[in-house]
Amino acid sequence: MYAVSDAIGVSNYDAHERAMQRMIQADAIPITWGAVWAELQRVYVRETDQQAVEIFRHHHPAKQGLADVA
């Protein structure tokens, strides 16, 4: 079981950390939404794959330098 750490909506940092610790204690594996997206996408050869990369770039500004794949 995975816990998507950056998709958990809580009111503050401490609440987030406590929630993550409870999930880890229950054997959940922390992961980010970007890693989940990459696992779901898997291959980048279809025409629609470039659209998916653009969505990822839009929602993850740190990845603006992601190489073009089409």
Q: How far apart are CA 37 and CA 40, in angstroms?
A: 5
Look at residue 26 in the predicted model and tell me its pLDDT. Answer: 96
Tell me whether residue 49 is in a domain.
yes
Give me the number of domains the chain comprises.
2
Q: Tokens 């839009």: give the residue.
A: 58
Tell me whether residue 37 is in a domain.
no
Confidence check: pLDDT of 69 > 50 = no
Confidence check: pLDDT of 65 > 60 = no
Which residue type, as a one-letter code, is found at position 69? V
Q: How far apart are CA 33 and CA 44, in angstroms?
A: 18
Confidence check: pLDDT of 66 > 70 = no
Considering the domain architecture, whether residues 25 and 50 belong to the same structural domain is answered as no
Considering the domain architecture, whether residues 67 and 47 belong to the same structural domain is answered as yes
Considering the domain architecture, whether residues 26 and 47 belong to the same structural domain is answered as no
Domain residue limits at 14: 1-31
Tell me whether residue 57 is in a domain.
yes
Look at residue 24 in the predicted model and tell me its pLDDT. Answer: 95
Cross-strand partners of 56? none
Considering the domain architecture, whether residues 27 and 2 belong to the same structural domain is answered as yes
How confident is residue 11, by pLDDT bands cut at 50, 70 and 90? confident
Q: How far apart are CA 53 and CA 65, in angstroms?
A: 11
Over residues 25-41, the pLDDT tens digits come to: 999 999 988 788 778 77
